[in-house]
């Protein structure tokens, strides 16, 4: 992933987490210092500690530890959570110590006072936060938040844009590579495609065999033709990575893409295994457009329903009724 792309994806998240850290730290510092009649100093010290905790942790997570392809991002769930918890615990404790030295309750009494209870609290906090971040990554972008807030507990109709990518020649590739190496190929492919989708504000909805289904709320997908931009950015990115695929898998990878928009019913489904499901003829039509790509040999087909709603960038697309 190019550094500028990584920065565009990561910076908003780093900024949000840093702001949350400052606010939570300030509140905790104020409450914990009131007994010593130093609530004001505690508030500032807590805000400083929150900044020193949240900024390096969120930056380290976004730019080093969990970048696509990093060793830790590919590690098993518990190893990933455990390693990040220990790293972040060290940052927590160091930041608290710095805050106590820079802003003590009494200027003449600069000491580091971190109790066993503080260590246990920091460990629990880092473990829970890391665990929740990893779970959110497992089930999808902001899906955990949607479950917690009950946004889709009652099904309702949403207008959405869908972008479906389908790998060309997947059957032949699977037969040549074998099941395990073909799985590696698909995993690499969806990782590379996801970058362009996330950069344009899209959400990865589902992987279905050799297909990737991305979606936007209608207004978000239509804004500045973001859905189309994501489509062609992904295709161009894959072309640029062709030598890497050829070296690792012995072939270049081609894509088909379908774009369509319309109403779907969005809601939670299941009890033993829950997920947020999108249902409706809109998705069925998008699937038929992919079939039209196969039969016509076209790389990208967008529906008239979608093209009628946006101002096209200077890129050639084809119409599907």
The parent domain of residue 299 ranges over 151-320
Together in a domain, 226 and 316: yes
Together in a domain, 126 and 172: no
Mean pLDDT score across all residues of the chain: 84
Residues in the chain: 321
Q: Are 152 and 278 in contact (CB under 8 A)?
A: no
Positive or negative torsion for Cα 215, 220, 225, 230: negative
Q: How confident is the model at residue 196 (pLDDT cuts 50, 70, 90)?
A: confident
Question: Model's pTM, two decimal places?
Answer: 0.75
Tokens of 103: 């802003």
pLDDT at 240: 92
Positive or negative torsion for Cα 106, 110, 115, 117: positive
pLDDT at 173: 94
CA 319 to chain centroid, in Å, comes to: 31
- Supply the CATH number for residue 241's domain: 3.30.70.1230
Please state, in angstroms and rounded to a whole number, the distance separating the CA atoms of residues 215 and 261.
Answer: 9
Q: Is the pLDDT confidence value at 175 over 90?
A: yes
Together in a domain, 290 and 158: yes
Tell me: the pLDDT tens digits for 278-316?
999 999 999 999 999 999 999 999 999 999 998 765 555
Tell me: the pLDDT tens digits for 17-75?
888 888 888 887 778 776 665 667 778 878 888 888 888 888 887 777 766 656 777 77
Together in a domain, 25 and 120: yes
Contacts of 195 (CB under 8 A, 6+ apart): 1, 5, 9, 68, 234, 237
Q: Is the pLDDT confidence value at 166 over 90?
A: yes
Share of the chain above pLDDT 70, in %: 88
Please state, in angstroms and rounded to a whole number, the distance separating the CA atoms of residues 195 and 169.
Answer: 23
pLDDT at 2: 45
Together in a domain, 121 and 265: no
Please state, in angstroms and rounded to a whole number, the distance separating the CA atoms of residues 120 and 48.
Answer: 21
Tokens of 28: 């905790």
Together in a domain, 130 and 166: no
Tokens of 147: 């479950």
Nearest to 315 by CA among 210, 225, 217: 225
Q: What is the mean pLDDT of residues 113-136?
A: 80
Q: Which of 79, 105, 139 is the last residue of a domain?
A: 139
Please state, in angstroms and rounded to a whole number, the distance separating the CA atoms of residues 30 and 28.
Answer: 5
Structural domains of the chain, count:
2
Torsion (CA) 58, 63, 67, 71 in degrees, nearest 10: -90
Residue 144 lies in a domain: no
């Amino acid at each position: 992933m190019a550094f500028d792309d990584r920065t565009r994806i990561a910076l908003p998240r780093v900024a949000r987490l840093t702001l949350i850290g400052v606010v939570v730290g300030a509140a905790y510092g104020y409450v914990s210092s009131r007994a010593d009649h130093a609530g004001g100093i505690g508030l500032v010290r807590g805000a400083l500690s929150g900044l020193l905790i949240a900024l390096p942790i969120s930056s380290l997570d976004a730019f080093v530890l969990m970048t696509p392809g990093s060793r830790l991002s590919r590690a098993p769930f518990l190893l990933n959570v455990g390693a990040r918890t220990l790293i972040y615990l060290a940052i927590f404790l160091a930041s608290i110590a710095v805050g106590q030295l820079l802003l003590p309750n009494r200027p003449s009494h600069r000491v580091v006072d971190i109790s066993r209870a503080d260590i246990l609290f920091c460990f629990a906090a880092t473990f829970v936060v890391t665990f929740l971040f990893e779970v959110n990554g497992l089930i999808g972008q902001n899906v955990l938040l949607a479950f917690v807030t009950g946004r889709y507990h009652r099904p309702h109709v949403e207008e959405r844009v869908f972008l479906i990518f389908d790998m060309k020649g997947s059957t032949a590739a699977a037969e040549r590579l074998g099941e395990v190496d073909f799985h590696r190929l698909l995993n690499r492919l969806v990782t590379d495609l996801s970058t362009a989708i996330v950069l344009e504000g899209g959400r990865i909805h589902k992987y279905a065999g050799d297909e990737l289904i991305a979606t936007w709320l209608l207004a978000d997908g239509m804004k500045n033709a973001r859905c189309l931009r994501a489509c062609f950015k992904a295709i161009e990115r894959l072309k640029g990575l062709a030598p890497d695929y050829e070296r690792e898998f012995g072939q270049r990878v081609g894509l088909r893409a379908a774009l369509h928009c319309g109403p779907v019913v969005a809601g939670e489904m299941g009890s033993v295994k829950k997920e947020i499901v999108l249902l409706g003829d809109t998705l069925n039509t998008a699937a038929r457009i992919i079939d039209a790509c196969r039969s016509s040999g076209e790389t990208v087909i967008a529906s008239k329903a979608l093209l009628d709603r946006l101002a096209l960038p200077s890129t050639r697309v084809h119409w599907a009724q």
